[in-house]
Structure formats: C-alpha cells, structure tokens
Structure 1
Amino acid sequence: MTTATITRKWHTTAEVAAMLGFGLSKTKMLVATGEIRSVKVGRNRRILPAWVDEYVQRCADEAAREWAA
C-alpha cells in the first residue's frame, strides 16, 4: 500500500503574514490593494506560494533600483 503525501497549495493571509514577518493587518492591506495576489475561496482569501515569491522579488528589485540610484 502506498501512502501519498499532500503538500499545501494555498496559504492563508495569516500564514503569509507570519512568513513575511508582517502583521495581519498589513498583509490584509497588501492583499486588498493587489500588491499580493490572492483569490477568494468562499469567505476566505487564499494565496499561492508563487504569489508570495513574486511580491518578495518585486520588493527586492525595487530596493536594488533605489540602491543603484
């Protein structure tokens, strides 16, 4: 018998806040303004890991441009 491992595909807003070291209200604001992409599933927002990575990369790119200026 083979046991399959299911890996999480979505993160909650609270999980993303913890990953980024942000408060929940700041993370919810980033989601509401579209800075972090999300989808609504029922009454809740869910965020793909790739969308968190996109946000982090965008922030890093902006910081690099500021340092270069």
Structure 2
Amino acid sequence: MSVTVIERKWHTTAEVAVMLNFGLSKTKMLVLTGKIRSVKVGRDRRILPVWVDEYVTRCAAEAEQEWCA
C-alpha cells in the first residue's frame, strides 16, 4: 500500500501573514494593492506559494538596490 502526500497548493491571507511575520491587516493591504498576487475563490483570497516567494524576492532586490545606491 502506498501513501500519497497531498501538498498544499494555496495559502490564505492569514497563513501568508504568519509566514511573513506580518499583521493580517498589512498582508491584506499588500494583496489588495497587488503587491502580493492572489486570486479570488468565492468570497476568499488564495495565494500560491510562488507568489509569496516573488514578493520576498522583490523586497530583497529593492533593499539591495537601496544599499548599493
């Protein structure tokens, strides 16, 4: 008998807030302004893990530019 592990495909805004160590309000604002991509599923927002990574990478690149300027 084999065991299938189902990996999470989506995160909620609250889960992303915890991942980034941000408040829920700040995370919701980042989603609503498009700084973190998301899709609306019914009444809820869902965020792909890669979109969280894109946001972190973009923030790091912006910080790097500030330090190098």
Quick check: TM above 0.5? Answer: yes
Question: Which residue number corresponds to residue 7 of structure 2?
Answer: 7
What fraction of aligned residue pairs are identical, expressed as a percent? 77
> 2:66 maps to which residue?
66
CA RMSD of aligned residues (A): 0.5
Gaps of 5+ in 1: none
Query: How many residues align structurally?
Result: 69
Which position in structure 1 is the counterpart of 2:20? 20
Query: For the residues of structure 1 that align with 2:58 and 2:3, how far apart are their CA atoms?
Result: 38
Question: Structure 1 segments of 4 or more deviating over 3 A?
Answer: none
In structure 1, C-alpha distance between the alignment counterparts of 2:48 and 2:57, rounded to whole Å? 15
Instruction: Give the match's secondary structure for 2:22.
Output: coil
SS of the residue corresponding to residue 45 of structure 2 reads strand
Match of 1:49 in 2: 49
Farther-moved stretch of structure 1 (47-56 vs 1-10): 1-10
Aligned equivalents of 2:50 and 2:25: distance in 1?
A: 21
TM-score norm. by structure 1 comes to 0.97
TM-score by length of 2: 0.97
5+ long unaligned stretches in structure 2? none
